[in-house]
Structure 1
Amino acid sequence: MNQPIVIGISGGSGSGKTSFIKKLRSVFNEEEICIISQDDYYRPRDEQVADAQGVKNFDLPVSIDDEELIYDIIALKDGKTVTRQEYTFNNETKTPGIITMKSAPVIIVEGLFVLHFEKIRKALDYSIFIEAKENLKVIRRIKRDQLERNYPLEDVLYRYENHVMIAFDKYIAPYKELTDIVINNNVNFDKGFEILVGFIKSKTQ
């Protein structure tokens, strides 16, 4: 078996990464692609850095256990299966499940900081950056954090202004110019998605 191809997908919060990944899952099965999400590697809440107002900041690279993430990426590249408990962002209404990731010909690594972490960046064969206008990202973030994470609106807006935007400018946007493909998601990401699907099919069929 040839070593899997590893593709990193990054972009700001609300850019559409999750929707992009969901659509990939609908096209390919687990024998064809393996998707590993940075979101499942957040450190416990009591280890997160708090800002001057005492609000935990999950939008910093240090909020992620990057060593465990790269360890699992390497394991998947070596053909191994990885299991991990889902991270629920302290949403009391959601029970975390167990995620099983099986190695496949194409491994997708998705998350805010996958290009910022040097070890992870070096493990990638290709990289993709998904971008969108700021107002669209805010709207998407509000919808996600209220529906999926049970965060109040005031909290979502505070985090976006004081954590998300600062993190994007410092830890995410600088890597856009280094990526192989930039996908515009102001209206939709269909064209960029089709290109990636065609590439993955060429590697899995």
Structure 2
Amino acid sequence: MAEKHYVVGIAGGSASGKTSFLRQLEESLPKGSVSIISQDNYYKPKAEQQRDENGEVNFDLPSSIDKDAFLVDIQSLLNGKPITFQEYTFNNSERAPETITIQPAPILVVEGLFVFHYPEIRHLLDLRLYLDVREEIKLQRRIKRDRDERGYPEAVVRYQWEHHVLPSFKKFLKPYRDDSHIIITNNITFDKGLAVLTDHLRYRLENELMRASSSEGFNG
């Protein structure tokens, strides 16, 4: 009999706070109860990325992701198998990539810009959560993040925002906003939304997932 999992998809525009949200979500749930897999670790090599009309690499397209590898690893976790891969460092030469191993768990969170757009991944999701943030706030957060964590000059960030990020957001992400089960506004804080999701997942764990896993056997 197949193992029981509850699959949560979390999407939101660039710099909407997905990483911080996931970190706090994981800390709020029992240890070993949740696995988190991020689209960010499945970018294709830079040489395989598309370029815009000015010859600049555009990382903000669904085609920039190795969707097949992403899907294979999602399926492995759903089949109770751990996955191992090299962390993606966003072309930051000063940061050595780490080897990451993710163990399967009753709750699987699938995170990324395009997880609602890819139909093969979307149909696996039991719950779709969208982080909603005003554009000007996301831009300021992205400037700070890309400068501090990825070493990008502000001019580069603003170019990417205008030519890549916003067009992609409007075409490949925003159309799925109103079809999400939960929309959490994160202009200032996501605390209330996080509490709602945490309570929901705890209920699932206590009333469905753990009982199913104990009766069927779980290989995590």
TM-score (norm 1): 0.97
For 1:201 and 1:40, the matched residues in 2 are separated by: 27
For 1:116 and 1:165, the matched residues in 2 are separated by: 16
Which residue is equivalent to 1:75? Answer: 76
For 1:63 and 1:34, the matched residues in 2 are separated by: 24
Give the secondary structure class of the aligned counterpart of 1:182.
strand
Q: Number of aligned pairs?
A: 205
For residues 30-56 of structure 1, the C-alpha deviation after alignment (integer angstroms, 9 at most, x for no partner) is 511000000000000100111111111
Which residue is equivalent to 1:174? Answer: 175
* Partner amino acid, structure 1, of 2:175: P
For 2:8 and 2:92, the matched residues in 1 are separated by: 29
For residues 135-159 of structure 1, the C-alpha deviation after alignment (integer angstroms, 9 at most, x for no partner) is 1000111111111111111100100
Which residue is equivalent to 1:161? Answer: 162
Q: Work out whether residues 8 and 114 of structure 1, in 8 Å CA contact, stay in contact via their aligned partners in 2.
A: yes
For 1:71 and 1:123, the matched residues in 2 are separated by: 12
TM-score (norm 2): 0.90
1:29-44 alignment runs, 5 A limit = 31-44=32-45
Which residue is equivalent to 1:187? Answer: 188
Which residue is equivalent to 2:199? Answer: 198
Quote how far apart the aligned CAs of 1:105 are: 0.6
Of 8-17 and 28-37, the range deviating more from structure 2: 28-37
Q: Work out whether residues 3 and 78 of structure 1, in 8 Å CA contact, stay in contact via their aligned partners in 2.
A: no
Quote how far apart the aligned CAs of 1:29 are: 5.3
1:1-205 alignment runs, 5 A limit = 2-28=3-29, 31-205=32-206
RMSD of aligned Cα (Å): 1.1
* Partner amino acid, structure 1, of 2:36: I
For 2:60 and 2:35, the matched residues in 1 are separated by: 25
For residues 104-134 of structure 1, the C-alpha deviation after alignment (integer angstroms, 9 at most, x for no partner) is 0100000000000000000111100000001
For 2:3 and 2:168, the matched residues in 1 are separated by: 37
Quote how far apart the aligned CAs of 1:2 are: 3.7
Quote how far apart the aligned CAs of 1:85 are: 0.5
Indicate the percent of aligned positions where both proteins have the same amino acid: 45
Quote how far apart the aligned CAs of 1:186 are: 1.2
* Partner amino acid, structure 2, of 1:45: K
For residues 45-77 of structure 1, the C-alpha deviation after alignment (integer angstroms, 9 at most, x for no partner) is 100111111111000000001111111111111
Of structures 1 and 2, the larger Rg is shown by: 2
> Which sections of structure 1, spanning at least 5 residues, go unmatched?
none
* Partner amino acid, structure 2, of 1:108: V
* Partner amino acid, structure 2, of 1:180: H
* Partner amino acid, structure 2, of 1:143: K
For 1:79 and 1:200, the matched residues in 2 are separated by: 19
> Which sections of structure 2, spanning at least 5 residues, go unmatched?
207-220
Which residue is equivalent to 2:214? Answer: none
Give the secondary structure class of the aligned counterpart of 2:150.
coil
For 1:95 and 1:29, the matched residues in 2 are separated by: 30
Of 112-121 and 2-11, the range deviating more from structure 2: 2-11
